[in-house]
Amino acid sequence: MGFSFDLTPEQEELRRQAAEFARREIAPLAAEIDEKDDSQLLLSVGQKMAQPPYRYLGMHIPEEYGGHPRSLIDICIIMEEIAAIGQSAICAASIEGALLSPGPFIKGGSEEQKKKYLPLIARGEERISFCLTEPGIGSDVAGLETRAKLVDNTWVLNGRKRYASFAHVADYHVVFAKTDPEKGARGISAFVVPGGTPGFTVIERIPCIGMRGHQDEEVLIEDCRIPKENLIGEEGRGMRYALGALDESRTTLTSGFIGLARAALEEGVRFSKARKAFGQPIAEFQAISFPLTEVAIEIEAARLLAYKAAWLGDQGIRHTAETAAAKAFASQLLIKATNVAVEVHGGFGGTKRFPVERMLRDGRIWVFAQGAPNIQKLIVMRDLYKRLEPPPGLVEELAARA
């Protein structure tokens, strides 16, 4: 079995193309989107992402449904460049939102649903919000309280959702609700709710410390009625569809974290070589150079973790624990990298004159996307303890000594 750490010529071209797009279309707008908290400007960038030759919004969608499918490793390469060269978490996150929402259709949707919704998403013509999190339910998805009941061939939905990205402009919403509360996670189903459906109302936009331009919104669902055929896939399999989609999107999201950490590192190195103190560049002081070096080392480690998880996914091998490990590590890296970059800039780091201030705010909130860092550690811990059992007789021996 051989190993190669080189990208293929095709992957190098993908990397170059993504970097060029980020340099031309994202970097000049990143500060403006943040300053104005301008979602429309952000969405206009998203429209360009959907167009040839990029087709970034269709990277998870099969070709027969209008997509432009890429391997998970390819998407990781693209995500890192978008975040690193564009110096924008929110533009990279916009790709991830577009990759996450089609997941339930791909995992379980009927042929009719796939043909109806997936081409529109791939072309960037319509938007779909992902309504999973609730005000009282975040990581414990099995505890969600939104309910769906079938009444005379019509599903009636009631509940609340939070952090439903761009719900106010979405053409459709993927909503997760319990159809059989007694079954817990096995009683969760997925539905598609057209935008403008009576009973589905955006009631609050939630301001955030970073990722400005993003629309995180709270939704009230009151006697929202949709046709029976708007159930996605099979009843009771909504959790499976959600987690399957999250496994893939968390993998590539991790590479976005790595990209923004790389951007922070590069800003820190450049500043440290230009800024002088005591007659020499501050890069000459180990108090400055060592933290930057640690970040550089950890970026390499995080990339390898992400690529391993992506490779497993591309082979059709379950990679939940590997993805969780990569995301947990890259989350810590992103927070560390942006903190170090601000510290290297000193007082300048807290001003809008330098992009590290924006990166710090973006990184602080972005790490919670699609599962908090500590929840990723919990996933790894459960896998670890499931695989490793005490040697025979040790439990009895320890009990006897107690």
pLDDT digits (tens, 9 = 90+) for 157-167: 999 999 888 88
Q: With contact defined as beta carbons under 8 Å apart, do 235 and 179 qualify?
A: yes
Dihedral sign from CA coordinates of 321, 326, 331, 332 = positive
Q: Which residues of the chain have pLDDT under 70?
A: 1-2
Q: What is the pLDDT of residue 42?
A: 87
pLDDT digits (tens, 9 = 90+) for 95-129: 887 788 889 999 999 999 999 999 988 988 888 89
Q: What is the pLDDT of residue 136?
A: 82
Q: What is the pLDDT of residue 2?
A: 59
Alpha helices (H) along 87-237: 89-100, 103-108, 111-122
Q: What is the pLDDT of residue 400?
A: 92
Q: With contact defined as beta carbons under 8 Å apart, do 372 and 387 qualify?
A: no
Domains located in the chain, CATH noted? 9-122 (1.10.540.10), 128-234 (2.40.110.10), 239-387 (1.20.140.10)
Under DSSP, is residue 40 helix (H, G, I), strand (E, B) or coil? helix
Q: What is the pLDDT of residue 1?
A: 45
SS3 content of the chain, % helix, strand, coil (to 5): 60, 15, 25
Q: Which two tokens stand for residue 247?
A: 């496994």
